[in-house]
Amino acid sequence: MSYRLVVTEKPSVAQSIAKVLKVRNRKEGYLVGNGYFITWCVGHLVGLADAKEYDEKYEKWDLKDLPILPDPWKQAVNSGKLKQFHTVKALMSRLDVDVIICATDAGREGELIFRNVYHYSGCRIPFVRLWISSMEDSAISEGFRNLQPSQNYDALYQSALARSHADWLVGINATRLYTCRYHTLLRIGRVQTPVLAMLTERAEQIEHFQKTPYWNVHLTAEGLTVHREKIQSENEAEELSAKCRNQDLKIVSVEKKQKSTVQPRLYDLTSLQRDANRYFGYTAQQTLDAVQSLYEKKLCTYPRTDSQYLTEDMRDTVQNLIRICAQLGLFPSSTDFVPDIDRCINSKKVSDHHALLPTREIYTTDLSTLPEPETNILLQIAMRLLCSTAPVHMYEETVITAKCAEETFSCKGKTVLSSGWKMIEADFRKKAGKSMKMEEEAEPFSSLPKVSENQVLHNVSPEISRHFTSPPKPYTEDTLLSAMENAGKEDFDKDTEKKGLGTPATRAGIIESLVSSGYVKRKGKSLIPTTEGKNLISIVPVPFKSPSMTADWENALLQIEKRTLSADTFIAGITQMVRDLVTSTPSPTAEQLQLFSSSVKTKDSVGVCPWCGSDVYDGKSSYYCSSRECSFCLWKKNKFLECLKQPMTKKLAQELLKKGRIHSKKLYSQRTGKMFEADLVLTRTVDKEGNPTSSIQLDFGRSVRK
């Protein structure tokens, strides 16, 4: 009997596919039945090897060894995932498997996850691609009926591979270069550092902003108030006020115009994250985690999309979805209009995945069983579908121009004619209730009393108000995501597809990395660069902190994906930049070294570094190795442990450093909502930029107990 092997990215996806394919027998690390093996990768099983795998001398960070330019590139199994890798490799080596189905996430990173394992295993079995935008049973069935040739995604893989190589080259070489030059760990990233530069530039604009006063003069007569704004001199404002006091106000013109506020587009991931930050105060990562969970629960479509449109063949599906969302009873205003689906349809603007949508499962799901963030995000997606197809918001704008003592004043008013899509957003705000962190936006101007042209109003009463120019606002995750998305776009033609800094799938991780590394801190909704972050940007050369340059790189990756640029050409450019960086970076001045000088006070050791044997100290945000040539650290804010409701305490850090693992009986499962026990194992892995990093893995087998 021959089998088909399905390789997914996560166990939960494997379970969903197994249900559709009627594969019921669970084994260690895979499922089998009905002519299928189904296994999973649990993220990146295989990644780029650490520098020391090319030469043992690279284990010690030394300037004379730079640049490190692998040729050929090596890969390695990520520590802590060996067992699952061997399971996948064994299945790929079976003689009774005649075809493999790549069912990892349908995107650049998902393609890389599968192909790294496929190639590292030495597999030669032909494979095809499952490419779907929803985990609904019907979508999975349709996807298996329309499996795609693997060759269709070769360019996507080349783009992903080029991205990983570029991140490794910049991350390894720049981080080692600056760490050795400045004798303290300084992390440089291909995308992370330009984002930090944007935050630093904004902070400097705020810091150096000098506010200047200005004055407004307001005249009130018979219930109407008109204004003269932005007067630069207080004396001028007082003279104008005195000139108009008790005079007549003549209406020169009353202009009325009907205007509209068009419906918002459907959500892509970035716009969803931006609005969730405004509505609920969620970080980009919190929103990504919530929407990814909703996707795996079959409640929304593929989340990491960069499109805000739908394809022509989705018209009937969307019509049905709108009806389902309206029937939920959560958006009563949605029943008052006939949806306009045409404005959401544009097949030319859909590449890999269409815009984010709820699925039909929303109708049969008890939303009260979902965690609050998931409920809020799901309703937000449903609300946007209804808003996007609702009528425009119509209003009448009135502009009154008047004269007093030969001086001109004016005012604006607004009357809503038809609320349109804004009524549905109001329903959403009401439903979200206490979760809503954003106050309802006040109208910029309200209705005015009725007056007519040439009408004269008597006995003017003037008033002066003093104001100051405002500095730029600190970036929030909302505004930073927008800035990342639009970085460098002014350098491209209007019709050119542009990618900005990072991708929808990576931007949340970039922000979290800056925070966890101590270069950025959160203050309310604001993202503020720390002193360490500002100091780092002050010494990094322009090409490695330029948002527009990095946006150029991201667009080059898009060209590789579209087969208009070779990956070799792109990597050659990155390699030359790295060479230039190493040869042209001068030795730091005494003043620059002082920026990164460490405190000389004696510190208590938490334990011994498992990488180099030096002391590990208790820092502000991490437990870090005291050796300036070693990058080992344990972050106190560990997302993986937070999900398990296990804080990274000093005692836990000490035990991990001493034994390498610790048994815990009080770990929380987000899937079941129950506590479980397992070993927490300290492992060494490599991040996306090629830097060695420590991580915590679960082991349900052998454990070391007290």
What amino acid positions are annotated as catalytic residues? 302
CA distance linking residue 667 with residue 665, whole number of Å: 6
The end-to-end CA distance of the chain, in Å, is 49
The one-character DSSP state at 19 is H
Q: In the structure encoding, which two tokens stand for residue 184, read together? A: 């303290």
Q: Quick check: bond before 72 cis, omega within 30?
A: yes
Within its chain, how far is the Cα of 579 from the centroid? 31
Q: Which of 315, 295, 313 is nearest to 304 (CA)?
A: 295
Strand partners, 134: 301
Non-local CB neighbours of 306 within 8 Å, separated by 6+ positions: 268, 269, 270, 351, 353, 499, 503, 504
Calpha distance 521→515 (Å, rounded): 6
CA distances from 423 to 58, 180, 261, 426 (A): 62, 59, 13, 5
* Alpha carbons 589 and 197: distance in angstroms, whole number: 21
Amino acid 373 reads: P
Radius of gyration of the chain (CA): 30
Interatomic CA distance for residues 549 and 530, integer angstroms: 24
Of 22, 553, 121, 479, nearest to 274 by C-alpha is 479
Strand order in the sheet with 692-699: 661-668, 675-686, 692-699
Q: How far apart are CA 290 and CA 275, in angstroms?
A: 14
Please, is 598 exposed, middle or buried when counting C-beta atoms within 10 Å of its C-beta (0-12, 13-18, 19+)? Answer: exposed
| 117 CB neighbour count, 10 Å cutoff | 25
State how far Cα 240 lies from the chain centre. 51
Dihedral class, residue 330 (left if φ above 0, else alpha if ψ from -120 to 50, else beta): alpha
Contact 465, 228 (CB under 8 A): no
Chain centroid to Cα 338, Å, comes to 34
Q: Which residue has the tokens 């409920």?
A: 375
Contacts of 528 (CB under 8 A, 6+ apart): 199, 203, 474, 520, 521, 522
Q: At what angle do helices 372-388 and 422-432 cross, to 10 degrees?
A: 170
